[in-house]
Each structure stands twice: as structure tokens, then as C-alpha cells.
Amino acid sequence: DILKITQDSTRIYVNDTVNAKGKVGGFAVSGRSPSKSASTDILFVTADSTRIFVNDDPTVKGKVGGFAVSGRSPSKGVTNDYLQVTRDSTRVYVTESTAKGKVGGFAVSGRSPSKGTSQHMFVTTTDSTRIFTQDTVGGFGVRDITGGTSTSYLQLSPLNYFIGHESGELVEQDALNPGMGKYNTFFGYKAGQNTVNGFKNIFLGYKAGNGNVGGGWNIFIGNEAGYSSTGGLSNIFIGDQAGYNFANGVQNVFIGNEAGYSSSVSVYNNLFVGNGAGRNNVSGNYNTYIGISSGRNTTGSDNAFVGNLTGFSNTGSQNTYIGAESGIYTSVGNKNVYVGYRAGYRSYGTRNVFVGTNANNTNFSSVNYNNCIAIGDSVIVTGHNQIRIGNSEAASFYAQGIYNSTTGSAANMYIASNGRIYVNTSSKRYKKDITPLEINTSNIYKLNPVSYTSLSDNKRYFGLIAEEVADVIPELAEFAIEKNVVPGSSSEELIPNAVHYPILSVLLLKEVQKHEATINHQQELIDVLKNQNLELKDRLTRLEELVNKLNK
């Protein structure tokens, strides 16, 4: 049979012998116009292909230039298109009928010349669309091929998933390094665009990881997150432009918009959390910055900043700042601990401990003192190696349980009115220019001992008045800046504030020594007078005896 028509089918049989001579083994349907001309193939079937030719001349009027496959039922009714091919589109129509049987689907399958079952490549049904690829080599992609170029929009394979315009378009596997160029997931416009042999990366967002070439185990989420990263390992950047200029560091975590933005060299083991945290950290390592713009301009290492704007301008290392704006303008300095709102606000020193709201906050005056401790609200140090606890408003200070007894009667330590703690050291090892006391100690007789009631506890005491002492023996008085001891005062004038009672004992000792010299001198005079008196008494006795003899 060559042509066979039955009730349910129409069949055309052709000779598919591959070694037959001539153009055999095929079937063609041709069309021609009434004018004399060569026939035009419309349908051409051979052993290895089936071709349908359509007229795609856009100048021809009417519905020409298309091809359709339709189906109809034996009953009268309109035909249903299943396949429609035109110059500008190819459409496949499937029924959504819920009737039993294999209906409502479309499949594209492939087979080899040898006998075997066909393999589905593309299947569309009413509930799913499936694309089948061959493992390790197969894949599925969507590209724009207009203009003579090919631009990738989607590439899915068992090795990599790339979704987005030009995302992962340069990735390739390295035969010498089997793990390279594999297991990447890029999602976003030009995400991972320059990645060549990177591995196990996840880039999500507009141009996320755009500059990455060979890095691995990185997670960049956010628009332009890790944009300039070229070869970093085990980094996590989350946020708009987080780690934007990052180069090739290791094990960093930047979370927040522009967090770690300028980390351009090989930094490692940093944790920045907060918008702008560690933004300009270009070289520091082992830093932990938590808070908006904390450590924003830092270049140091081994720092821990917690709080908004903490360590904003810091360039030192091994600093710990806790509290909003603590150490905000500390641009230099190492090994400092600041705890509290604006603690160490403008302090530039090293090895300082400032604890408390505004502790050593000098506002607009920059200070550079070292080895200091300031504890309390707005407590300020005024020199190196100072320890200040509490401010001028502290009514009492208790140190219960931290004392011990001594074998001497004199105080070994005392606290002056300016808050300084003194130790009574007497060794000549701590002294120079030793001379006899030159002060006029006789002025102590002008001092006026009084008794008084204290305003703090309403108890009676006795002592001296600092103002009176300053008028008589200024060296015995302790002076303080008026604004530091008088509430509400802004005067910088020095005023008498206390009496150096330990020094008073030295003056008294000197005066006693003077009296002792006087007493000794007077004793010598008394002894002379006593001897003279004895001599006079002896002479008087002899005279009396002589007179008595004469009278007899």
C-alpha cells in the first residue's frame, strides 16, 4: 500500500530503504499557482525528518504564512487547534478536560536511531510544566539571541543555578580542579557575572557578587552585596551594598546596608552588624561592631564596639566601647575600655577605663591622657595616671570591707577634697632638694580652732576654717576651682576648700622643737642661776658666821 484511508485514519507508506538509489523514501505535498512555475513543497516527509514549509512573506495579504494541526470530533462542530505555527510565534494548545485518559498534555521527546524507548525532554500538563535534563552534562537555559549576540537570562543545570540577566555567564568547570566552578546559586541581574571558577557561592540580588572570580563558600544577599569581591572565602554579606568594595578576605560577616562597604583589602574574621557598621574598615581584623555606624571609620584590629555610633572614628586596636556614641571621636588610642553613653567622647589616650554616662566626656576639648580610670556620671580626669570615682554631687563614699589594720598610728592614706588619694610616703627615695623647714611656724598661734555643725550630717565637730587658714598659712590650705565645689558656679577661680591636717602636724612638730630649744636654753640659764644662788648662799652663810663671831 502507498495510500490507505480508513474510517479512523489516513496513512501514507513510503520506502525508507537507506541504500536505495534516487530520491526515494519520501513523501511530499506541493503547491503551485495557475501560472507556469515550479511546484513549492508544503509538506515533506523522509525517513529521517518531517518538514512543513510555510510562506513567511509579510507583504502577502491575508492569513498566509502559517501552519496548524487541528482536531475535531465526528459530530459537527468547530475544529480545535492543537499546534499553530506562524511567522512570529509557535503555539501549542492542550485541553484542560478532566476526562480520564492521557489527555490535556504536550510532550517533546528524543530518541536514538537504535531501538529503545523515547525520553521526555519537555512535558506540559494542566498542573505542571517539566523540563528534563541529562545529569552532569544536560541543562536548561533561556537566552536573548537578538542583535547577533546571545544574552543569558536563565541557566539551570545539576551543577549550577543561574537566574538573571548575564548572571554566572562566565562560569566554567576546571578539569584539573574538579570542585571549581560548581554548585553556585546566583539570582539577580548580573549576579556573579564575572565568576569563572568560584564554587559553592550563593549570590542573591542586583549585581550581588558581580566581581567574584574564584571565591567560594560565600553568601551575598542584597543589591550589590559583595560587588567587588574577587576571591574571598566563607564570607556572609547581607544588606544593600554590604561589603561593596570587599576584595578577597576570609570569614567575615557584614549585616546591614553598607556594612563593611570599604573593606577593600584582605580583611578577615570581622563581624559588623548594623547599617554602616565598619563601613570604612579597610584593613582591620578580628573586630566586632554592633550598631548603626559603629566602627564606621575604623582601621584597627581586635576591637569590640556595641551601640549606635560607638567607635565611629576609631583607628586604634584592642579597644572595647559599649554604649551609644561611646568613643565616637576617639580617633587614636589603644587598649581602652569605655562603658556608657558618650563615655570617652573625645579621649585620645591609651589604657584608659571610663565607666558611666559621659565619663570623661570633654565635649569639644580633645584630651590625650593615659592610664586613667574615671567611674561615674560626667567624671573627668585632668592628667595622666589618675583614678577618679564619683562626681562632685556624690554625698558619701563608702569602702566598707576593703580596709585593714596597720601597726602605726598615723594614716597611711587619705583622700583630699579634690578627690585625690594620697599615701604618706617618707622614704628619701621619693624626695629631693631636702632642706630644713623654712616656713614661719609661729603663725600657727594665729590659727583659730573652732567647733561647728556639719551641713551634711548635722553633727558637731571641731577643726579649722579653710578660708582662715589660707589667710594665715597658705601652704596649709588646699585650693580647688570654684565651679567644681560650688554648685551652679562657673568661676575658674581657686578658692580655699580644705585644710592639710597632716601638714599641720609637721608645723606643730617644728614649733615644739623651737619651744624645746627655748626650754633647753632657759634650763641652762636656770642651772647657772641655781649654781650662782648656791654660791651666794654659801657666801652668806660664811658672812653670818663671821658676824656672829665679831659680835661675841
Contacts for 180 with CB less than 8 Å, ≥ 6 apart: 173, 174, 197, 198, 199, 214
pLDDT score at 520 = 93
User: Per-residue pLDDT for 169 more than 80?
Assistant: yes
Does the pLDDT of residue 238 top 80, yes or no? Answer: yes
Task: Find the radius of gyration of the CA atoms of the chain.
Answer: 51
Strand partners of residue 388: 374
Residue at 301: amino acid letter: S
Range in 114-118, 126-130, 223-227, 264-268 with the lowest mean pLDDT: 114-118
- Distance between CA atoms of 248 and 260, rounded to whole angstroms? 13
User: Using CA of residue 471, residue 474, residue 480, residue 485, what is the dihedral sign?
Assistant: negative
Beta carbons within 10 angstroms of residue 103's beta carbon: 13
Least confident of 146-155, 328-337, 442-451: 146-155
Residue 430 pLDDT: 79
Between the alpha carbon of residue 364 and those of residues 345, 347, 367, 384, the distances in Å are 9, 10, 10, 19
DSSP 8-class letter at 250: B
> Any residues with CB less than 8 A from the CB of 307 and at least 6 apart, and which?
290, 291, 294, 321, 322, 323, 324, 325, 326
Q: Quick one: pLDDT at residue 371?
A: 94
pLDDT band at 404 (very low <50, low <70, confident <90, very high): low
Q: How far apart are the C-alpha atoms of 243 and 258, rounded to whole Å?
A: 7
Return the C-alpha cell found at 350: 591609651
Q: Specify burial of residue 232 (Cβ count, 10 A radius: 0-12, 13-18, 19+).
A: buried
Judge residue 521's burial from the number of C-beta atoms within 10 Å of its C-beta, 0-12 exposed, 13-18 middle, 19 or more buried: exposed
Phi, psi for residue 243 in degrees, rounded to 5: 60, 35
Per-residue cell: 263 = 573593606
Quick one: what percent of the chain has pLDDT higher than 70?
71
Answer with the residue of higher pLDDT: 405 or 431.
Answer: 431
Give the containing element (helix H, strand E) for 515: helix 501-551
pLDDT reported for residue 182: 92
Distance CA(116)–CA(489), nearest Å, equals: 103
Could you give the CA distance from residue 510 to residue 523 in angstroms, rounded to a whole number?
20
State what percent of residues in the chain have pLDDT above 90. 39
Pairwise CA distance, residues 179 & 174, whole Å: 8
CA 258/CA 238 separation, integer angstroms: 9
Return all residues near 370 (Cβ < 8 A) that are at least 6 apart.
349, 350, 351, 352, 384, 385
User: Mean pLDDT, the chain, as a whole number?
Assistant: 81
User: 262-266, 312-316, 380-384: which has the minimum mean pLDDT?
Assistant: 262-266
Cα–Cα distances in angstroms (integers) from residue 46 to residues 29, 55, 114, in the given order: 12, 21, 18
Window from 152-166, 194-208, 331-345, 514-528 with minimum mean pLDDT: 152-166
* Top mean-pLDDT range of 120-124, 187-191, 421-425, 546-550: 187-191
Q: Which of 254, 190, 246 is CA-nearest to residue 215?
A: 246
Beta bridge partners of 85: 67, 90
Give the pLDDT score at 521. Answer: 93
pLDDT tier for residue 376 given thresholds of 50, 70 and 90: very high
Q: How many residues belong to the chain? A: 552
User: Which grid coordinates belong to 504?
Assistant: 599641720
Lowest mean pLDDT segment, chosen from 107-111, 263-267, 357-361? 107-111
pLDDT band of 387, cuts 50, 70, 90 = confident
| Per-residue exposure over 48-75, b if at least 16 CB sit within 10 Å of its own CB, e if not | eeeeeeeeeeeeeeeeeeeeeeeeeeee
Q: pLDDT digits over 326-352, tens only? A: 999 888 899 999 999 999 998 889 999
Per-residue pLDDT, 504? 87
Smallest CA-to-CA distance from 168 within 103, 213, 216 is with 213
Tens-digit pLDDT profile for residues 10-67: 677 766 665 555 555 566 666 655 555 566 677 777 766 777 776 666 666 555 556 6
Q: Which of 86, 12, 80 is nearest to 52 (CA)?
A: 86
Of residues 79 and 174, more confidently modeled:
174
pLDDT beyond 80 at 75: no
